[in-house]
Structure formats: structure tokens, C-alpha cells
A and B are shown apart, each in its own frame.
Chain A
């Protein structure tokens, strides 16, 4: 046991055959439990180094210099400095050091350490570095080679410069600099900044978390880059090329000669400018803006979700676009070969060419202006408006029930209480090149207005009939007979224009009014239904004979037509024998509640809806539509009921609350209706004498 304070030993010769040490300065403060506790130990090795070095305590400085070699070094506590210099070799180093320096031709095969700084310079090589804690700085410069770097915790800065090559890196670090001819084959990490400049290349990059900036400039190349989380900026510039990028970025900018083969990402802005090429873009989330400008080329774009704006300008080309966009604007010489999407607004201007457009959902507006050409449009759902303006032309295929060429409006039909649709379509000098109707589906009306004057109107308010009115006004002519594509149903459409040619009519018309110089060359229509001219007549009579006429049911009903249905000539007769009772259901009732006859002062209210208007001159005009509701209410009070009857009544009301029940009145007339006031309380007038009142709203029915 050694108990020494401040011991200075200088060993000049060999020890026990294993260690040869010269000049050892040890400052021992106290003894432990059989072990040495040493602080501040300085060892200078002058000769052969032991094959294994185990240092259990802190060492201020351990230096292997010149041709010193150390196969394994385990250092389990903090060390300020470990330096392998010149041709020193450390096969395995597990240390916690502040500074680890490998210089010149020093080699360290495996290093598992916690260190602040690892410096590898000149021709120092390091096969594998495992860092499980924080390293402040790892610098590999000049011709240093690091075959494998695996770091569990963050590194502030990893800089690989000059001709340094790193085959495999799994670190988390703040900065990673690859400069000059640096080459990294595989990166799996998240870092704040990854900078590859000049000839630096990264074959594969996997980033699992946030990255602040990934710029590739000059001739930097990223062959495959998979970034699975948000990135603030990804900018391959100049001649930078990225073959495959899967990133979520805020900004992805490809400029100058940048080229990206495939991108699957969600980002805020994607901009391709100048000569930038983008072969495929798969976007599954929101993109705020996708802009292709100048001669940018985008071979295919597939977006699964909303894009706020997609703009193709100048000579931009988009081969395939499957998008949901608010606005798709193609201008100048922009070309879109195939568009499949639902968009709010599709604007094609100037010499824009769209060869194939499939709009799967509602289009608010599709504008083609100037020289814009749409070769093929297929819409699965209804579109609000398709405007062909100026000299725009369109060869249109309607693939389903849709009103592609019309605006749909509605008129209210007061007779049927339904909205009757009508359409207004092409305007100005628009022409329609081809119209194919689906053979077995109802086609909407194509109407041409202004100078193409064929207006088709579904007339409403023709009582009891599905009537139409076809009015040809001004100098309308039919230039050619309409082509009937569908022979299996009656479609309503008529081509009547100056220069416009439209299709067909086979309607059932109430009124066909041809005015001025209108002419119809060919017309197929069924003219069987016409408006009826109501001519009414009546013959009334009165027989004055007996006084009983004013006491008996005896209306004098003459002959007539056109007016209301007169009252029945004979008195209604009871259909059911009393007693008075409620029953359920109305038809073939199975439940009965027997009541007494109601008290006098019962009421029979007739409430018929009608409107009364007074003319300016004071004349009263009363009108009632036959279909307006007519309500009849019986107000009844039953006295002298027993307690069990009252309970049965309450149970009946509760069980059939709101349901239509039957009621046989005291005269044997049968009614069906509902009890309006189930909350009306029953009253006990005296012992075993109860009173029940209710209002019954109903109508006469037939007992079955």
C-alpha cells in the first residue's frame, strides 16, 4: 500500500520486465481501498510501449510519439490530451479525452471516445469512430481518411476537407462541411447545415430530422437524397444535379443548370427557372406555389393534394399534371399535354396548348382566350362554366351527364314546387367543333345566345303539364337540320343561329312561337300537348217548395265546369256505429279507447288558407290555390269518464304521441288525424267523475 503525498520518481531502468518508464511524477493525495488514486500524472514514454495500456484514473497527458505503438488503450476517465504523433499507432482507443490528435502518419483503427476535439491531419487515418457523447469538433483535413463514423450524439462541427474521403457517416451534428474534393458515400443524419461545394459529392443522404440548409453549388452532385422531414431550404444551383430527392422543404429551388430527376416532397415553394429540368415531381401535400419559368421543363407532376397555384409560363412544358389546384395558369407558349385534376380555375392564354384535360371535379371557371387551344376535355362531374372566347376553339367530348358548355340556371315551378333547370351557353362568336353525346344518357340543352341565337327555355307554371316554350326571335334562322345523335330519348336542344350550328330538338311543347323571320327547316317534335283554354259554364236552380228545405241537407247543385267541386248532393251518412272512440292504427285498427259522447259546445273549425288582396279601387280579390292546405279541427270535451277510462286515455295519448290515430265521432263519422294538445290535463270533477278535453286535427276518412 502506498501512502504518499507529492511523490516524484524517476525510473531509469527496466522495471518488472514490462514497463520502462523514465521520469514519473505522481502526486498522490491519499490511499483508497487497495487501489491507487492518482491525480496529475505525467508519463513520458521513451521506448517500447506496452501492448496494452489500462489507465484507471485521470491522466493529464498521454503521448505516443514517433514510432510508439499502442494496440489498445482504454481510458475510462477524463483525460485532457491524448496525442498520437508521427508514426504512432493506436489500434483501439477507448478514451474520454479533451483532445485527441492523430497527426502525420498516425493511425487509429477504432476509437470509441468522448472527446472534445479529434484532429486528424496529414496522412492520419481512422477506420472507425464511435462517439456516443458530445464531440465539439472533428476535423479531418488534407489526405485524412475516415472509413466509418457513427455518432450517437450531437457534434458541433464535422469538417471534411481537401481530399478527405468518408465512406459512411451516421452523425447528428450542427455543421457538416464537405469542401474541395471531399467525397461522402453515405450519410444518414440530421444536421443543421450540410455544405457540399466545388467537387464535393454525396452519393446517398438520409436525413431523418430537421435540416436547416442543404445547398449544393457549383458542380456538387447528390445522387440520391432522402429527407424525411422538413427542411428550410434545398437549393441545387448552377450545375448541381440531384437524381432523386425525397424531401419536405420550405423552399426547393433549382436554378441555372440544376437538374433533379425525381422529387417526392412537400414543400412551400418549388421553383424551377432558366434551364432547370425536373423530370418527375410527386407532391402529396400542400404546395403553395409551383412555378416553372422560362425554359423550365417538367415532365410529370403528380399532386395528391391542394396546390395553391401552378403557373407555367413562357416556354414551360408540363407533360402530365395530376393536381388539385386553385389556379392553373398557362401562358405564352406553355404546353400541358395531359392534365387530370380538379381545379378551381384553369386559365389558358395566348398560345397555350392543352392536348388532354380531364377534370374530375367541379371547375369554377375554365377560360380559353386568344389563341388558346384545348384538344381534349373530359369532365366527369359537372362544371360550372366553360367559356370559349374570341377565336378560341375546342373539340369537346362530353363523357357523362354534364353541362360543360352551359351555365345552369333554375326557374321555380309553382305548380310542381320544383326547380326547373335551363341552360345558357356559348356566347360571342364561339364555335363548337364537335359534340358527341353519350348515347344512353339524357343530354342537356345547348343554347347559343347573342349572335348565335338559339335560346331554349324550360317553361314553368304550365298547370299539370311538362311544358316548354321555344321562342325564336329576331332574325333567327335554322341553317341546317340538326343531327340527332341519340335516337332513344327525347333531348331538348335546338340549333338556331346565324352561323352557329347546334343540335336537335324532340321536346313536347306547349307553345311554339315563331316570330319575325324565324324559320325552321327540320323539326321533330310531338305536338300532342297544348294548353287548355278554360271555358266554364254553370246552370243553377232553386226549388222553393217546403219549409223543410231550410232544415234538411238540400243544396241545389246544377250543372257546371271549371269552378270548384260543388258540395255533394246528398247528406253525408255515418259509416260506423257509435259509441264515440279513439282507435289506432287508422286502417284496420287494433287498439280502441271507448269514450262517451262529447259535451255540447263542441266545435268544428274549418281553416282554409287563402289570400285576400284589395285593388287600388277598393275591390276585394280572394284567391286560394287548390293545393294549399285545408285544416279541420274538432274541439271536444268528454265528461263523466271513470278513472280507468281516464288512465286508458292518458296511456293511449302517450303511446301514440304525434301519430295519426282514428276517431269515431258521436254520429258515426270516421276521422283520421292527430291530437294536438296531449298536454291538456284531465280534471276530476267529483268522485269517479273525470273530464277529458282534446283538439283533434284531421280529415274525414273511410272506416276499413
Chain B
């Protein structure tokens, strides 16, 4: 189970998503700059970003859920969001991807009422935030 909750901290809307596909990503945003003195001494300059990390998930959604995610992003694309990932870790941060691209991938069920046939869609979410221990 995957959870998007927004706006943080006065959470009003919660969306439940299926677990993301494999190949999800997680990385730190801290950076290191290395400088060499004339005598060969190495100096490093570190820029930390308060423990913030960049995460990227790819979701395979039914058309209904894709519409829900689309509406969620329309509402909270610039708000702080609390994300509970598939491992139970809680993240506080913002969506950073732009544009959000939904792709119709194939036939699936259920369908949008009253349509007879449904589809499954794929969307990639990019997120930066800090883990809320």
C-alpha cells in the first residue's frame, strides 16, 4: 500500500495507491566539491540539504486510479505532501517532477462507469522530502 496525503500538515485528502513498480529510486541530495591546493592537498566542501532525499516511483494504475492521481496532482502539485511508501517509511516533502506525464498503456479492468472496458496507465512520480522518523 502506498499513501499520498496532502496538504501537510493540515491533511485533508488521502489517496491510496498500489505499490510502485520495481526500479524505484532513492538518493541523497547532498553534494561534495573537491578542490586541490598547489601542494596537492585535497579540500572538500560539503553542501548538505537537511537530510532531504530524492525519490522516484513508477506506478501502474487503473484508469480510475490514474484519474484520482491526476486530480490529486492538480490540487497539490505545489503543496507539502506526506507520503507513506510501500516499506512503511513516511516522507514529508514536495512533488518535483514537471510535467507529470500519464501514459495510457493497455487494456485492463475495471472501467470507468458507464464505459464497458477499462485501461491501465503508467505514471512516474518524482518526489523530494525528508523522512519522518
- B-contacting residues of A (Cβ < 8 Å)? 536-542, 549-560, 562-568, 571-574, 600-608, 610, 612, 614, 617-620, 622-624, 630-631, 633, 667-668
Specify which of B62, B79, B94, B112 is in contact with A574 (CB 8 Å cutoff). Answer: B112
Whether A554 contacts B68 by the Cβ 8 Å rule is yes
User: How distant is A567 from chain B, measured CB to nearest CB, in Å?
Assistant: 3
Whether A539 contacts B12 by the Cβ 8 Å rule is yes
Measured in the bound complex, the distance between the Cα atoms of B115 and A571 in whole Å is 12
Whether B64 contacts A571 by the Cβ 8 Å rule is yes
Whether B3 contacts A542 by the Cβ 8 Å rule is yes
Task: Tally the A-B contacts, defined by beta carbons under 8 Å.
Answer: 168
Whether A608 contacts B68 by the Cβ 8 Å rule is no
User: How distant is B20 from chain A, measured CB to nearest CB, in Å?
Assistant: 12
Whether A619 contacts B50 by the Cβ 8 Å rule is yes
Whether A603 contacts B14 by the Cβ 8 Å rule is no
Whether B112 contacts A551 by the Cβ 8 Å rule is no
Whether B17 contacts A550 by the Cβ 8 Å rule is yes
Specify which of A556, A607, A623 is in contact with B14 (CB 8 Å cutoff). Answer: A556
Least CB separation from A628: chain B residue:
B78
Task: Say yes or no for B21: interface residue by CB 8 A criterion.
Answer: no
Whether A572 contacts B13 by the Cβ 8 Å rule is no
Measured in the bound complex, the distance between the Cα atoms of B79 and A541 in whole Å is 18
Task: Say yes or no for B48: interface residue by CB 8 A criterion.
Answer: yes
- Leading 9 A-B pairs by shortest Cβ distance: A618-B49, A624-B78, A567-B71, A538-B10, A560-B12, A607-B99, A540-B11, A538-B12, A618-B50
21 A-B residue pairs with Cβ-Cβ distance under 8 Å, sorted by A, are A536-B10, A553-B65, A554-B16, A555-B71, A556-B13, A556-B16, A558-B11, A564-B75, A566-B75, A571-B113, A573-B112, A603-B103, A604-B70, A604-B103, A606-B73, A608-B98, A612-B96, A620-B93, A620-B96, A620-B128, A667-B115
Measured in the bound complex, the distance between the Cα atoms of B70 and A559 in whole Å is 21
Task: Say yes or no for B42: interface residue by CB 8 A criterion.
Answer: no
- List chain B residues, Cβ under 8 A from A552: 62, 64-65, 110
Known: A553-B64, A606-B100, A622-B94. A564 touches B112 (CB 8 A): no
Whether B68 contacts A553 by the Cβ 8 Å rule is yes
Known: A552-B110, A618-B49. A565 touches B16 (CB 8 A): no
Task: Say yes or no for B57: interface residue by CB 8 A criterion.
Answer: no
User: How distant is A547 from chain B, measured CB to nearest CB, in Å?
Assistant: 9
Interface hits, B89-132 → A, CB 8 Å: 93-94, 96, 98-106, 110, 112-115, 119, 128-129
- List chain B residues, Cβ under 8 A from A604: 70, 101-104
Main secondary structure of the interface of A (DSSP, over half): loop
Whether B77 contacts A538 by the Cβ 8 Å rule is no
Task: Say yes or no for B56: interface residue by CB 8 A criterion.
Answer: no
- List chain B residues, Cβ under 8 A from A541: 14
- List chain A residues, Cβ under 8 A from B52: 618-620
- List chain A residues, Cβ under 8 A from B74: 567, 606, 608, 630
Whether A556 contacts B15 by the Cβ 8 Å rule is yes
Per-residue CB contact flags for chain B residues 1-40 toward chain A (1 = under 8 Å, else 0) read: 1010111001111111110000000000100000000000
Measured in the bound complex, the distance between the Cα atoms of B14 and A610 in whole Å is 22
Whether B7 contacts A564 by the Cβ 8 Å rule is yes
Measured in the bound complex, the distance between the Cα atoms of B104 and A349 in whole Å is 81
Least CB separation from B15: chain A residue:
A555
Whether B100 contacts A574 by the Cβ 8 Å rule is no
Whether A540 contacts B115 by the Cβ 8 Å rule is no
- List chain B residues, Cβ under 8 A from A559: 12
Whether B99 contacts A606 by the Cβ 8 Å rule is yes
Known: A571-B67, A618-B47. A605 touches B101 (CB 8 A): yes
Whether B105 contacts A667 by the Cβ 8 Å rule is no
Whether A608 contacts B15 by the Cβ 8 Å rule is no
Whether A551 contacts B71 by the Cβ 8 Å rule is no
Known: A558-B11, A620-B128. A574 touches B115 (CB 8 A): yes
User: How distant is B99 from chain A, measured CB to nearest CB, in Å?
Assistant: 4
- List chain A residues, Cβ under 8 A from B75: 564-567
Whether B103 contacts A601 by the Cβ 8 Å rule is yes
- List chain A residues, Cβ under 8 A from B1: 550
Residue in B15, B62, B76 whose Cβ sees the most chain A Cβ within 10 Å: B15
Whether A563 contacts B12 by the Cβ 8 Å rule is yes
User: How distant is B18 from chain A, measured CB to nearest CB, in Å?
Assistant: 5
- List chain B residues, Cβ under 8 A from A614: 49
Measured in the bound complex, the distance between the Cα atoms of B11 and A574 in whole Å is 29
Measured in the bound complex, the distance between the Cα atoms of B9 and A538 in whole Å is 9
- List chain A residues, Cβ under 8 A from B103: 601-604
Specify which of B13, B67, B115 is in contact with A566 (CB 8 Å cutoff). Answer: B13
Measured in the bound complex, the distance between the Cα atoms of B121 and A667 in whole Å is 14
- List chain A residues, Cβ under 8 A from B110: 551-552
Residue in A540, A541, A624 whose Cβ sees the most chain B Cβ within 10 Å: A540
Residue in A541, A553, A556, A568 whose Cβ sees the most chain B Cβ within 10 Å: A553
- List chain A residues, Cβ under 8 A from B80: 622
